[in-house]
Structure 1
């Protein structure tokens, strides 16, 4: 009894090849335009630069606040400066104080 070898159809080979090419096209499309693709990477890098600049500005502001808080340390506080600032903020003066008001400059 002779055996006959059945060869796969050419259509099966072509359909497998076409489906693999379509899958590669799908992956290639998402490499460029996907959430983590090339285009999104540019946007993320720009956002990183903006956030780093904002972080630097906030660090400067934090350092400023830390310096101002350090001035309230009772071991380092100058009572004359404290009373001067408090009186300036509250608008209070002693009767024996001399007040000098600078003249307004004309802007022409």
Structure 2
């Protein structure tokens, strides 16, 4: 029993479609190979987010220390000295209580 040319064409198209879907499932933008890359990018972004959270928390603390109703005198002194250009990078500031 010989297949007609029309049936062979249909089978060839079905085979091509099946191969294309298989290739897309493996190497496509959402395929198996992309999953490993996406996992790596996700881990890098999680690490970056952790760094940004630490920076945000440090800035939040600094803002709280500069609250106009109760600014930290040590931080205010440091900022003023830095703005005036009299604070050096290797300088260590030691404060003494007036008690």
TM-score (structure 1 length as normaliser): 0.65
1:27 equivalenced with 2:21 (yes/no): yes
Matched, 1:75 2:89: no
Can you give the 5+ residue segments of structure 2 that lack an aligned partner in the other structure?
A: 88-93, 95-99
Matched, 1:91 2:86: yes
Q: Tell me, which stretches of 5 or more residues in structure 1 are unaligned?
A: 1-8, 93-99, 101-108
In structure 2, how many angstroms separate the alpha carbons of the residues matched to 1:18 and 1:87? 79
Considering fraction of residues, name the structure with more helix.
2
Where in structure 1 do 4 or more consecutive aligned residues deviate above 6 Å? none
Alpha-carbon RMSD: 2.4
| Larger RCO (CA within 8 A; separation ≥ 6) | 2
1:11: Cα distance to partner? Answer: 2.4
Aligned length: 84
The structure having more radius of gyration, on CA atoms, is: 1
1:86 to partner: Cα distance:
4.8
